[in-house]
A and B are shown apart, each in its own frame.
Chain A
Amino acid sequence: MPESPTIRSKIKSLLVSALRLDGLAPSDIADDSPLFGEGLGLDSVDALELVVALEKEFKIPIQSHEVGREAFASVGALAAFIERRLAAAGNADAAS
């Protein structure tokens, strides 16, 4: 199931606001751009910030072992991860 464009859009906005990526607009972030290392250049501290922001925005718990794996590879991957978690929690409304 393709993830919702709304979720991707929310994630991009969160990346910019929660991580204080001044000078970068959400629309500047490509869906498949790597979040860590090359690409956006985020690091482990950013990962912590991002998890807190995602948990707050989508009201889902994210375990530490889930961070840094495939789910956090890109905005697209993260959106798919969020959608799966929302569906599992029966909380799809949060995505809209």
Chain B
Amino acid sequence: MPIETVVTGLGTIGPYGFGREALAKALAAGKPVASEVDRGGGWHREGGSRLAALIREPDLSRWIPPAAARRMSFPSKLAVAAGKMALPDAGIETVASEGGRAGVYLATAFGPVHNTEKLLRQIFLEGAEAAQPFYFSECVANTPAAQLAIAVGARGPNVTIVQREAGPLLAVGRGAQAVREGRVDRALAGAVEEIPPLLHALLGRFGALAQAEEKLAEQPRPLDRRRNGILAGEGASLLVLEREDAARARGARILARVRWSGAAFDATAGVTDWGTGHDALAAALRAGLATAGGAAGISMIVSGASGAKRGDLLEARVLKAVWGEAPLPPVMTPKAVTGEYGGGILAAGLLALEGKALAPFPEAPELDPEIGFSPHRGAVPEKRARVLLTGLASGGAAAWLLLERAS
């Protein structure tokens, strides 16, 4: 009998608050959890995006003692807090089973960029000798994963995945694979992100962010005709992954089984944009799903569509190519609420499987003829045995995750 990987715990922190209930409430409301970005640095373009899904004044002391927190960047703190939140949710005190190995698989698109900014500012303005060691040690992309491993005693593989919007799904896919292949007994897998003002300004200058237009408020509108960019969002979501037989043996509550995970690359993509290679991506998705019962068994799609003009179009074309003449299952777009980055989609996918509502955004969607369908609104369909999560990244990376109910 093949080894299966299951999800037994979830920790999530975002602009919506701490934990699954806070996220569920925000998703049900369907309103972007956005607030004003500090534009005092002078980096922002006039008339550009003003909002981001930011975590305001987070008190993480219940998960991180002050002596440890002072050595951590904000993303490290978020990752450690979400990881430590996930463990009791899984009914375990430590990620390492007795004598076993535990891995950490964590995605981040930009890493601890605020520390990098501070470090470079010191070097440029005061000289290299004035650079604080703390900013150096906590400015590289893999420090949140390392801090998380230290905090929870995960002594196995420690992997950081930097693949933008595809990262969270790739991280869970890698973690699930490691569990399935017996390389680790348990894994913490997910994503973390921070959005400091400078990064927000840079994303705005790249034209990535949603912005207000005449008679149109600034907000992300995934798969909608009026979409004009993403809502940048920060947060952390961590999943506890373990072998299904081991989880059942200890009487764990099983949130989902990782039925399949897959990845592909769109070679037509530019460095900072989505490509047009929907046929190749669809072929990869179709082939992967064929090993897991096919597309017909999928009852919901939790889409990575975020409001990006070309990204959403590529997403729609891939899905339509895979389903062909068959009707698409309901497509949900949680990034309209959580924003892009930070792994909120992972938590939303699990909640969708549980039956929690995921409204796309508060106003009525307008159909984009090129896309040909609108996001599902309101309650999750009764039939939800399998949920497909999708993540197509600017720059070409693509990832999918097929979760199924296992109880």
Contact = CB atoms under 8 A, between A and B. Distances in A.
Interface string B124-137: 00100111111001
Contacts of B371: none
B132 A18 contact: yes
A48 B131 CA distance: 10
A52 B130 contact: yes
B32 to A, nearest CB: 32
Interface stretch (A19-27, A31-39, A67-75, A81-89): A19-27
B99 interface: no
B312 to A, nearest CB: 41
B126 A56 contact: yes
B69 A22 contact: yes
A15 B203 CA distance: 36
B70 interface: yes
A52 B70 contact: no
A12 to B, nearest CB: 16
Contact of A52 (B66, B67, B129): B129
Nearest to A52: B132
A56 to B, nearest CB: 6
A66 to B, nearest CB: 15
Contact of B131 (A19, A22, A52): A52
Interface string B40-79: 0000000000000000000000000011011100000000
> Mostly helix, strand, loop or mixed at chain A's interface?
helix
Given A52-B129, A55-B129, A21 B70 contact: yes
Q: Which of A23, A52, A53 has the most CB of B within 10 A?
A: A52
Nearest to B72: A20
A45 B132 contact: no
Interface string B109-139: 0000000000000000010011111100100
Give the bracket for the number of chain B residues in contact with chain A: 10 to 19
Contact of A23 (B66, B131, B133): B66
Nearest to A55: B129
Contacts of A56: 126, 130
Contacts of A55: 129-130
A35 to B, nearest CB: 15
A75 to B, nearest CB: 19
B127 to A, nearest CB: 10
A22 B70 CA distance: 8
Contacts of A20: 70, 134
Contact of B134 (A21, A22, A41, A49): A49
A49 B130 contact: no
Contacts of B129: 52, 55
B133 A41 contact: no
A70 B133 CA distance: 23
A18 B130 CA distance: 12
A52 B69 contact: no
Contacts of B69: 22
Nearest to A50: B133
Contacts of A22: 66, 69-70
Nearest to A56: B130
B353 to A, nearest CB: 39
A45 B71 CA distance: 9
Interface string B151-170: 00000000000000000000
Q: Which 6 A-B pairs have the closest CB atoms?
A: A20-B70, A48-B133, A22-B66, A23-B66, A49-B133, A56-B130
Interface of B: 66-67, 69-71, 126, 129-134, 137
Interface of A: 18-23, 41, 45, 48-49, 52-53, 55-56
21 contacts: A18-B132, A20-B70, A20-B134, A21-B70, A22-B69, A22-B70, A23-B66, A41-B67, A45-B71, A45-B137, A48-B133, A49-B132, A49-B133, A49-B134, A52-B129, A52-B130, A52-B132, A52-B133, A53-B132, A55-B129, A56-B130
Given A18-B132, A20-B70, A49-B132, 4 more contacts: A49-B133, A52-B130, A55-B130, A56-B126
